[in-house]
Amino acid sequence: MGRTLAEKVWDDHVVRRAEGEPDLLFIDLHLLHEVTSPQAFDGLRKSGRQVRRLDLTIATEDHNTPTLDIDKPIADPVSRIQLETLRKNCADFGVRLHPLGDVEQGVVHVVGPQLGLTQPGMTVVCGDSHTSTHGAFGGLAFGIGTSQVEHVLATQTLPLVRPKTMAITVDGELPDGVTAKDLILAIIARIGTGGGQGYVLEYRGSAIEKLSMEARMTICNMSIEAGARAGMIAPDQTTFDYLEGRPHAPKGEDWDAAVAYWKTLKTDEDAEFDAEVVIKADELAPFVTWGTNPGQGAPLSADVPDPASYEDASERLAAEKALEYMGLEAGQPLRSIKVDTVFVGSCTNGRIEDLRAAAELVKGRKVADGVRMLVVPGSARVGLQAVSEGLDVVFKEAGAEWRHAGCSMCLGMNPDQLAPGERSASTSNRNFEGRQGKGGRTHLVSPQVAAATAVLGHLASPADLSDAPVAAGV
Amino acid sequence: MEAFTTHTGRAVPLRRSNVDTDQIIPAHWLKKVTRDGFEDGLFEAWRKDPSFILNQPERKGATVLVAGPDFGTGSSREHAVWALQNFGFKAVISSRFADIFRGNSLKNGLLTVIVEQKIVDALQELTEKDATAEVTVDLEAREVRAAGITAAFELDENARWRLLNGLDDISITLQNEADIAAYEAKRPSYKPRTLQS
Ligand code: SF4
C-alpha cells in the first residue's frame, strides 16, 4: 500500500526502530527562543553535555522583545533576564543567535522559512506549539516541551510515537475577500479544538494548491489550534519558487538533487488516511471568533450564538463562560461588535503578504476614532521589505502604529498588551482568556478583516469598506 | 526523574473542559528561568476568586486533579506541568488530554491518566461530596481506585516502564549513539545547515 506524505517524511528520519519502543527520529532543524530554552540549557550544564549539532540549531529572540525603543535597555527586569539568559546560553554553547536589533531577528516561525532553513521533507522542532507553521513546506514540524528541547540539543533526535494521519481536503476556489485565515478558522470551528488530536493533518485539494507559501504557513500555523501537533502541505512548484535563492537553500547540483527528492514527497494515490474531512472552499466567507478558544468562530455575517443552542452540555457551558468573559450577548450581530484595538502581526499573519493585504485596504483611509491599530512585522526582514514598499507610510498615514518585529500583542509577555476589558481584532492565533493581556478580549480575524475593522471601528469585512470610500486625491 | 509506582491522595475536582495551558500557567510566568517556584502561578486568574475550588481550605494538600475533557490544550509550555507539580499534584485524571501536554507530563513524572468520562464524572461527584475521599492511581496495576470506583487505564508499555523506573530519556537515547552516528553519516548533502563551515 502507498504511503502518505507524513509517513514518507517520518520513515526517512527513523534512526532506530525497535518493537515496543517509540521510533527514534532524527531532527533536521532545531529552532530556539528565549522562553522555553533556559531550563533545557540548564539541564545540559548539570549533566555536562554539549549541543550535538550546532549546525542544525539556531536561536532568535521574539516573545519578550519590545516593539518600540529597541535600542534602549529592556524595562521589564524579568524579560531582560530571560533574553540575557538566552544570549549567555548561546555564547557558552556556540549556538547561532539573532538577538533583538539584528537584521535576521524576528518571530522564530517567520525567521526559519525566510532564511530558507525550512525545506520540504525535513523534521523541524521548536519549543513552541506553532512550529506546525513549517509544515507548509511539506516537512514534519511540531512543537516540543522543554525536556524535549534538552533532548534534541543533546542528541539531535527525539523518541516519538508515530501519529495518525488526517486528510483535510479543500476543493474549489476561495471567494473574493476570503483568505487562508478564514479557511483555517472555519476548519477549526468544524472539527473542534480537539478534532486533530493524535493526527498529523495534511491539507490538500485544489484550493490548497492555489495558495501562496505565506497563506500555506497561515494554515499550518493554526493546526495546533485544532489539536493537531503538525499540519503539512505537499511541496510543489510554489514551494520550490519560494525557496530558490534564499540564503540557506541548496545551490547548484545540491539544488537539483534536493528538488528531485522533494518531488517524491506526495501522498501516494493508494495511500490511506486514518481520517478525512472535506471542505468546500466556495462556501466559505470571512470568519471571526466570538469566544475564548479558536473553535468558537462563525462567519462574520452571523450572530453571536445562543449557548442554549448547543446540545453538548460541556460545549454549552463553555459558550456561556465565553460570552460572559467576552462581554457579548447571544443573538448580537457579529458586525455590531466594536473594538478598541486592532493587531496585525504574529507568526500566523505577520508576513509580507499579510502586511500588503492590510495596507491595501487602509490606504487613503483612516483608522476609526478611538481605535488603536498596531502593525508589527513578523521579522526585522519583513519590516525592511515593507518599508521598501512604503507600507509603513501607508499605515502611519492612516493613523496606525508601525512597530519593530516580534511576537508583540500575540501574547502578554512584552509591553504590547490589552488592558482589562479592552477588545481587539487580532490576526494572531489564540483568543484564550487573558492571552493578549489580563482581562483582554480577542477576536481572531484575517489581515483583511483586521484592516476593515480598524477603519470602521467594528468587526467588518473588506466588502463593508465600500461605505468608507478612499479619500479623494489620495 | 522520580519513579512513580502508585500514589494515593485527596483530590480536587475541576469541573471545566478545555482548560488550556494559558489558564494553567499564564504567559507572564514563563519569564522565569528555573523549573521551580511556579506554584503561585497555577490557575492564577481563577485563584483570585475565593470560591475557586483550589482555594477551599479542605482541598489543601490534595495531590490528584480530576479535570474535564481536553485538559492542557494550547501552548507547548512545560511550565504548565511544573506548576501542577510545584503545587503538589502527582497525577491528573481526565477523559482527554492535549498531546503535547501529555508528553510533557509523562517526561516529568506527572502521571496523566485517561479514563472514560463517566469515570471522571463519578470521581468528581465523589470528591465533591467528600473532600477527604482518597483516590489511588496505581501505575503497576494500571488502575484508578476510589470508594466504589475501580477503573483500568491505558498507558503504553514504554512510557510506563520509564515512569516506573524514573528513567531519563536522554541517557536512554544516548545508548543508541552508534545508530545516530550511522544516520548522520548518510544524510544528504543538500540538507541545510545553520552554520556555514
Ligand atoms: S507570534 Fe504568537 S504564536 Fe507566534 S511564536 Fe510568537 S507568541 Fe507564539
Report the complex ipTM: 0.94
A126 labeled part of a ligand binding site: no
| pLDDT at residue B42 tops 60 | yes
Residue nearest to atom 4 of ligand 1 (CA): A347
Q: Which residues contact B60 (CB under 8 A, 6 or more apart)?
A: none
pLDDT of residue B33: 85
| pLDDT at residue A474 tops 80 | no
Percent of chain B with pLDDT over 90: 80
Q: Which residues contact A104 (CB under 8 A, 6 or more apart)?
A: A60, A98, A111, A115, A379, A380, A381
CATH class of the structural domain B4-184? alpha beta
CB contact under 8 A, A151 and B191: no
- In 3D, which of B135, B16, B112 has the Cα closest to residue B68? B16
Chain B residues touching residue A33 (CB < 8 angstroms): none
- Report the gap between the CA of B93 and the closest CA in chain A (Å): 17
CB contact under 8 A, B75 and A129: yes
CA atoms of A108 and A123, how far apart (whole Å): 15
Mutate to test the pocket of ligand 1, among A35, A142, A428 (most ligand atoms within 8 A of CB): A428
Structural domain boundaries in chain B:
4-184
Calculate the alpha carbon distances from A279 to A3, A17, A174, A224, B59 in Å: 23, 36, 11, 18, 47
Q: Which residues contact A375 (CB under 8 A, 6 or more apart)?
A: A344, A345, A355, A358, A392, A395, A400, A401, A402, A403
Tens digit of each residue's pLDDT (9 = 90 or more) over A173-222:
999 999 999 999 999 999 999 999 999 999 999 999 999 999 999 999 99
CB of A318 within 8 Å of a chain B CB? The answer is yes
Confidence of residue A20 (pLDDT cuts 50, 70, 90): confident
| pLDDT at residue A470 tops 80 | no
- At CA A65, angle to CA A64 and CA A68, rounded to 5? 140
Tens digit of each residue's pLDDT (9 = 90 or more) over A328-369:
999 999 999 999 999 999 999 999 999 999 999 999 999 999
| pLDDT at residue A469 tops 80 | no
pLDDT of residue A323: 98
In one letter, which amino acid is A376?
V
- Report the gap between the CA of A462 and the closest CA in chain B (Å): 30
Q: Please give the domain boundaries of chain A with CATH numbers for all domains.
A: 3-273 (3.30.499.10), 288-462 (3.30.499.10)
| pLDDT at residue A390 tops 60 | yes
pLDDT of residue B28: 85
Chain A residues touching residue B68 (CB < 8 angstroms): 314
| pLDDT at residue A395 tops 70 | yes
CA atoms of A150 and B173, how far apart (whole Å): 12
| Mean pLDDT estimate for chain B | 94
- Mean pLDDT, to the nearest integer, of A303-325? 94
For B48, list phi and psi in degrees, rounded to 5.
-65, -25
Task: Kindly report whether the global pTM for this prediction surpasses the value 0.80.
Answer: yes
Kindly report the three-state secondary structure assignment for every residue of A87-134: HHHHHHHCCEEECCCCCCCECHHHHHHHCCCCCCCCEEEECCHHHHHH
All 3 cell numbers of residue A119?
525545506
N residues, chain A: 474
CB contact under 8 A, A55 and B194: yes
CB of B2 within 8 Å of a chain A CB? The answer is no
> Are the CB atoms for A130 and A148 separated by under 8 Å?
no
All 3 cell numbers of residue B121?
464524572
Give the burial string for B108-117 (b: 16+ CB within 10 Å, else e): bbbbbbbbee
pLDDT of residue A473: 42
Comparing B172 with A289, the larger pLDDT belongs to: A289
For A290, list phi and psi in degrees, rounded to 5.
-115, -15
CA atoms of A347 and A112, how far apart (whole Å): 11
CA atoms of B182 and B50, how far apart (whole Å): 58
Tens digit of each residue's pLDDT (9 = 90 or more) over B151-173:
999 898 889 998 998 888 898 99
Q: What is the DSSP letter of A211?
A: S
CA atoms within 13 A on the CB side of A234: 23
| pLDDT at residue B94 tops 80 | yes
CA atoms of B112 and B103, how far apart (whole Å): 9
CB contact under 8 A, A257 and B98: no
| pLDDT at residue A430 tops 50 | yes
SS3 call for A174: coil
Q: Which residues contact A395 (CB under 8 A, 6 or more apart)?
A: A358, A359, A362, A373, A375, A401, A402
Tens digit of each residue's pLDDT (9 = 90 or more) over B112-129:
999 999 999 999 999 999
- Mean pLDDT, to the nearest integer, of A4-11? 98
- In 3D, which of A158, A191, A155, A139 has the Cα closest to residue A23? A158
Largest Cα separation within chain A, whole Å, is 72
> Are the CB atoms for A56 and A154 separated by under 8 Å?
no
| pLDDT at residue B197 tops 80 | no
pLDDT of residue A412: 86
- At CA A144, angle to CA B3 and CA A227, rounded to 5? 105
Chain A residues touching residue B102 (CB < 8 angstroms): none
CA atoms of A152 and B55, how far apart (whole Å): 39
pLDDT of residue B166: 86
Percent of chain A with pLDDT over 90: 92
B119: left (phi over 0), alpha (psi -120 to 50) or beta: alpha
CA atoms of A261 and A9, how far apart (whole Å): 11
CB of B170 within 8 Å of a chain A CB? The answer is yes
- Mean pLDDT, to the nearest integer, of A431-444? 96
| Mean pLDDT estimate for chain A | 96
Instruction: Sheet with A29-32: list strands edge to edge.
Output: A96-98, A57-60, A29-32, A123-126, A140-143
Calculate the alpha carbon distances from A426 to A238, A246, A442 in Å: 28, 30, 7
Mutation test of the interface with chain A: which of B31, B160, B179, choosing the one with the most A Cβ atoms within 10 A?
B31
pLDDT of residue A46: 83
- Mean pLDDT, to the nearest integer, of A271-294? 97
In one letter, which amino acid is A381?
R
Tens digit of each residue's pLDDT (9 = 90 or more) over A128-185:
999 999 999 999 999 998 999 999 999 999 999 999 999 999 999 999 999 999 999 9
Residue nearest to atom 2 of ligand 1 (CA): A410
Q: Cell numbers 481536503 label which residue?
A: A169
- Report the gap between the CA of A375 and the closest CA in chain B (Å): 22
Confidence of residue B95 (pLDDT cuts 50, 70, 90): very high
CB of B51 within 8 Å of a chain A CB? The answer is no
